[in-house]
A and B are shown apart, each in its own frame.
Chain A
């Protein structure tokens, strides 16, 4: 099962290496990892999607806590969260498919951010399922390039 961990870490050089090294060394499978700044410039947020049963996740969490650079680890899979991912996708188009592709982009509430003679670049945000579904629909047209950010998430407010 996939778990989303929100890990608050010190914003220092070497922190990413410490964290990724820990996962590699202990053979924990990282599905995706994003790093971003927080409102506190000395703290970064890592959103790590990791695969494992509850025992593995407990170990991952405890091992992360042991790193002096780690301030807090929350398992967002245990809470109600809003999560999003951003994808940029360049798709092949011909004159006879262009309209179809544009309509699909519309249905998925994506945006065309760049347009060439024979291809379109589409920006799409959403949860993982939505992005996967969109990618599936685009595949027959020919995906030339695909970039995904990996998941970021915040807990929903309780009220």
Chain B
């Protein structure tokens, strides 16, 4: 349709150019049907959802859709599972919940995906349009509630908009810096006829993102690297999202420079790689932290200088370094740290270009220094005959093979997993980093196992976190998901206890989980076998036994509440003040 505005012919090209019509199976029908058709055309294979009044028409239409629906036991699981599905598969994850309480139950998970820049599309039911704004039954303003934690959102007021909105939602969620996009669908809208189900090509004039970095800047970066004496690459989640892991590895090998990763960047360089100094930040390795502190060139890729890395002390972080910051989100550049060489673009494309231009710097003294630190401050733990969490993780790495997926909950067990599980590749270690959401791990394991039915999935959880979504044992059984649940059972909210121990004079407050159930009996009540492990000798056999069982298994590892995660940069302290290695 062309439009005449003030005598000028404005070509409205987006609405006249249709997708290749033959590839579309969408036919006219009610909103619910058209929605599912368009989702199927987007390549959606599975929706994690939970029904309710406002979605009855959609659930009815679902019976005739090829899309698989997974029904967890809580909406929070729907969104976390979609999140993990996206992290594992690289596709956009999809979840769905009814209006009011259903939608509200998604909020934590939406925030989680937003903080870690994960592409998901969230579909919520809503009260009929004529009741909107009247405090009607099960009405919440979910778009309003989620403005700060969505990349974008839609409240659909006209069923004819459904095809366009769904297409836009997937485009926005999955491109640029990915993130959650919410579509709120009033009950009458999904029941209304859609006459034209063909989605127009996406044309969003106000939505832009960079892909290729500025070549002049990449040239500058290459020059800075060639001249540097103490370079370090600081790699984050953006490396994984953009698929830059392999080229990052080639780059650090060609230039022979050291690399540290964030919690989100774990797996971007395989564990054990000689150039990898480990994780940086609060529970990172001492070498990684000292390297960042001492470097003269910091090559930050797909990171956002989170305060778990910088301690929130921008004036004491990498103060001697020139900073190259490569990120797809221009707003991240200069947000926390002054950057000398900003490069806005897709991490993979930028690193590929940098790889072409790179001249290896001559840095034998730097490597000598780094190796000295590594020798002096290895990541270690006391093996005193007790059952150490670290042993469990190392053994899991041994028996689980190269391809096992690990999802974690939040707490000490998460940090031990980040430190000690040998992650070999991108999209293998799934954790709630930015939001630190207890209860994420089990839903994430479900999403991961649905995305990769043939891969081994370990859930590393704590007794506190596990009980935040323990009801998903039922989902695991219903969908026969062979998740191996590694429960680090210390009887306490361990991480909180650690802070009280270290920074509050051991004044322990509300960290005892006194009435913990017998987790094995709980598992067994769902038909899931359980194994209890209390000594280090039992670890390997128990893991092997669990792996030999075809379905889900829970291993209840009884560990001491007194264990602490070390090293640790105390809150608000510079990374040189790291504890646990006598720096």
Contacts and interface: CB of A to CB of B under 8 A. Distances in A.
Interface of A: 10, 13-14, 17-18, 21-22, 25, 39-40, 55, 58-59, 62-63, 65-72
A68 B206 contact: yes
19 contacts: A10-B206, A13-B155, A17-B147, A18-B147, A39-B6, A59-B331, A62-B331, A63-B331, A65-B330, A65-B331, A66-B329, A67-B152, A68-B151, A68-B152, A68-B172, A68-B204, A70-B206, A71-B206, A72-B206
Tell me which of A40, A68, A69 has the highest count of chain B C-beta atoms within 10 A of its own C-beta.
Answer: A68
A62 B205 contact: no
A67 B331 CA distance: 11
A106 to B, nearest CB: 39
Contacts of B206: 10, 68-72
A59 B151 CA distance: 17
Contacts of B334: 55, 58-59
B144 A66 contact: no
Contacts of B330: 62, 65
Contacts of A70: 206
B495 to A, nearest CB: 27
A58 B338 CA distance: 13
A71 B205 contact: yes
Nearest to B338: A55
B207 interface: yes
B375 interface: no
B143 interface: yes
A21 to B, nearest CB: 5
A70 B194 CA distance: 29
Given A25-B148, A69-B206, 20 more contacts: A13-B155, A14-B144, A14-B155, A17-B144, A22-B148, A39-B6, A40-B5, A55-B334, A59-B331, A59-B334, A66-B331, A67-B152, A68-B151, A68-B172, A68-B204, A68-B206, A68-B207, A70-B206, A71-B206, A72-B206
B393 to A, nearest CB: 37
Contacts of B152: 67-68
Contacts of B331: 59, 62-63, 65-66
A39 B144 CA distance: 28
Nearest to A24: B148
Contacts of B335: 59
Interface of B: 5-6, 143-144, 147-148, 151-152, 155, 172, 204-207, 329-331, 334-335
Nearest to B179: A66
A57 to B, nearest CB: 12
A59 to B, nearest CB: 6
Nearest 7 CB-CB pairs, A to B? A62-B331, A71-B206, A68-B152, A21-B147, A68-B207, A25-B148, A62-B330
A18 B206 CA distance: 15
B151 A21 contact: no
Tell me which of B147, B330, B335 has the highest count of chain A C-beta atoms within 10 A of its own C-beta.
Answer: B147
A123 B431 CA distance: 60
A86 to B, nearest CB: 27
B334 to A, nearest CB: 7
Contacts of A58: 334
Contacts of A13: 155
Nearest to B153: A14
A158 to B, nearest CB: 22
A21 B148 contact: yes
B186 to A, nearest CB: 13
Contacts of A59: 331, 334-335
Nearest to B204: A68
B7 to A, nearest CB: 13
Nearest to B152: A68
A46 B361 CA distance: 50
Contacts of B151: 68
A67 to B, nearest CB: 8
B41 to A, nearest CB: 22
Contacts of A10: 206
A39 B7 CA distance: 13
Nearest to B143: A14
Contacts of A69: 206
Nearest to A39: B6
A115 to B, nearest CB: 41
Contacts of B143: 14
Nearest to B205: A71
Nearest to A63: B331
A18 B334 CA distance: 23
Contacts of A66: 329, 331
Contacts of A62: 330-331
A14 B157 CA distance: 13
A73 to B, nearest CB: 11
Contacts of B172: 68
A55 B331 CA distance: 11
A11 B330 CA distance: 25
A147 B425 CA distance: 62
A65 B205 CA distance: 12
Nearest to B148: A25
B118 to A, nearest CB: 16
A70 B205 CA distance: 9
Nearest to B206: A71
Contacts of B5: 40
A40 to B, nearest CB: 7
A68 B154 CA distance: 11
Tell me which of B205, B207, B329 has the highest count of chain A C-beta atoms within 10 A of its own C-beta.
Answer: B207
Contacts of A67: 152
Contacts of B148: 21-22, 25
A68 B334 CA distance: 21
Contacts of A68: 151-152, 172, 204, 206-207
A68 B209 CA distance: 11
B331 to A, nearest CB: 4
